Structure 1
């Protein structure tokens, strides 16, 4: 589930989470330092206490840092051992006043070690704090209080350290998701631009070549073709605007009519048969894109004389097949930017639960077949041959 902008703004920043952790650690250190100062110890013990507190603070920062649990095992055991020495050795001089530092050790164990071992040692550290108050001839309640406060401090250190790490990971993940969204949008734009303009530009090139041949001998027919080029170019401009604005709806039936005109201009006989209901708009757009790509590839990569377009609906699926008889096995597109239209279409069909297959037949034909769920709004009667009469070249 993605983060909405409002939720993203409510997340604590990594620096804030780190600041909260530092404030908590410093608070515990300050409490311990105030306890030691109140005992009015000599200068030597006071300096030793302050140095030990500083060392524990630095070690705890390293244990609470992001990724500390991924450090080599030997390094974790070394730093934990040093922290344990700095936790228990000063208790000989400071007794229960030093007890809060056991909470830091307990939290570090939870942060660095495997769960079962960590929780066992965590409990052991907590219960070990029953002894210092008893050695100071304090009451059992004081011993229980120190044990409970050490365990609680360990949980606070562990919880705030993990919270700081998780906040950082969430922010990093959100940044990565934003980068991925930008990349996907760029790919979407490039894919749609290829699907829409590849066909239109191929059509304009083909018809321009036809006009060039017709001008000397058939000027009237050339004028008609110029009007068709203008129509295609205007449609191309509209397609670019639709891609830029995110509206990319296309109609398979409209694309069949357009394919008739373009292929007919190339003297290719087009036969079509359509029999399906009203399609879901997304499915209709994807299948229309498949037909555009098929016609574009036919014009660029083959020497077809006949093209058959068939769209049939069966058992909740619509099946579009485009077959031509002009496969040129030796053809190779010299352009380094020949595109990856079929790959784009295959991805788009998978997104709507469909599939795409293509290949050469033994009889020398090339066939492209796309299948997708119909998701019809309402069923229409089958289109009879009179609606789309395409048994000859379309002028």
Structure 2
């Protein structure tokens, strides 16, 4: 509606100026032939002005601008021979078009010259000084009105397009958030359920009681996964690092990985945002361990040092060069890096080669102790063999 309204105001103003010129011509008591020529020229000037005032015309090739401006200039000055000063308002249209289509310096210079050019027919017609000033002022005003209304219509159209682009960007951002949260949450839950079911399958013949306990844990993980999906869909997701540490220990034990967990007591009191992000890092780290390694041990530590929370996951069994063959293998570490950057943290990876085909892998996530991003806490020098995730080997 705003775009149509601004365009309608522009067209109405142009028609009003044309109407004034038509009344001036009619007052000259012209013969039908000259009157028809005048009306035809007015129609052509009106159409050219609509072209010049259209949104996007400023991006047109310079050659096209010169051609249309030349045509409008001819139609603005040539009829002065037949109609005299009665045609003078059309020079205002031409002045406005110069401002619209030409660079500022050239446009304003020619605008001024166009305004002063109306002195010539006025002097030749023997007009008084007052009439000459009136003619120049009217031309200048008409040019400014045409320029201002045309720019307004163009800016309204740009604003309308920008709002549409922002709406599409918001939708895309929400889709990325949804897919990222699903990847980070369900990847861990489904991996845990798969491992537990494999363990249950082995335990049923030999240890039914243990198998039953594992079934209870599978049900608990399944319910949690369902709750996670519902919270992601509603845009609300909170996680506790302490709870995820206990869950990770249980899942790794089910996968027959020797796990050691070392945490500070203060970790349980982390700010909600920091706790959620680090819990997500832990989930993805454990998921990657289960999917991309043949680990026999895993050490997990969550420590607070110098107002920085540092979560470290170390495991062996990373097979060099191993890649997930699935085309939907995801971008878990990339998601984690963006999450940590959003709160002023960083993600570090380190590989410690031992000369064999199996490597030791270290994943470290650092986040400010406070919920707000504290960039100066993250400027410390990292070890020579550590580097941000984006520069590390993608085999992880």
> Could you tell me which residue of structure 1 aligns to residue 19 of structure 2?
30
Aligned to 1:269: 258
Q: In structure 2, what is the Cα distance between the partners aligned to 1:57 and 1:306? A: 81
Distance 1:284 1:331 in 2: 31
Rounded Cα–Cα distance in structure 2 between residues aligned with 1:339 and 1:321: 22
User: How many residues get paired?
Assistant: 366
CA–CA separation in structure 2 for the residues paired with 1:189 and 1:341: 13
Q: Which residue of 1 aligns with 2:369?
A: 374
1:22-69, Cα deviation, whole Å (9 max, x unpaired) = 111111111101110121111121011111111111111111112212
CA distance in 2, matches of 1:118, 1:132: 23
Equivalent residue for 2:188, pick from 193, 199, 206? 199
Structure 1 window deviating more from structure 2 (352-361 vs 251-260): it is 352-361
Helix, strand or coil at the partner of 1:80: helix
Matching of residue 232 in structure 1 with residue 227 in structure 2: no
Structure 2 residue 347 is the aligned partner of structure 1 residue 356: yes
After alignment, is 354-363 or 205-214 more displaced?
Answer: 354-363
Distance in 1 of aligned mates of 2:283 and 2:246: 11
**Separation in 1, partners of 2:61, 2:165:** 28
Which has the bigger relative contact order, CA under 8 A and spacing at least 6? 1
Q: CA deviation at 1:230?
A: 0.7
* Residue 251 (str. 1) matches residue 240 (str. 2): yes
| Aligned-partner Cα distance in 2 for 1:319–1:106 | 67
Deviations 1:279-324 (A, max 9, x none): 3322211111110000011111111111111122223321111110
Residue by residue, what CA displacement relative to the aligned partner does 1:247-298 show, whole Å, maximum 9, x if unpaired?
1111111110110111111121211222345333222111111100000111
Structure 1 runs (4+) greater than 6 angstroms displaced: none
2:299 is matched with: 308
On the 8 A contact 1:131/1:143 being kept in 2, the answer is: no
Assess if the C-alpha contact under 8 Å between 2:310 and 2:365 holds in 1. Answer: yes
Mark the CA change 1:92 to 1:376 in structure 2 (over 3 Å): closer, same or farther. Answer: closer
Partner residue, 1:283: 274
Unaligned stretches of 5+ residues in structure 2: 373-396
Distance 2:259 2:196 in 1: 17
Aligned pair partner of 2:202 in 185, 210, 213: 213
Aligned position for 1:324: 315
1:223 is aligned, of 187, 212, 217, to: 212
| In 2: Cα distance, 1:235 partner to 1:143 partner | 85
SS in 2 for 1:356: strand
Q: Secondary structure at the match of 1:273?
A: strand
8 Å contact kept, 1:280–1:376: yes
3-state secondary structure, aligned to 2:363: strand
Where in structure 2 are the equivalents of 1:327-338 lying within 5 Å? Answer: 327-338=318-329
Shift of 1:130: 2.5
2:347 & 2:125 partners in 1: Cα distance? 81
Q: What's 2:69 paired with? A: 80
Question: How far apart are the structure 2 equivalents of 1:335 and 1:113?
Answer: 56
TM-score, normalisation: structure 2? 0.89
**Aligned alpha-carbon RMSD (Å):** 1.5
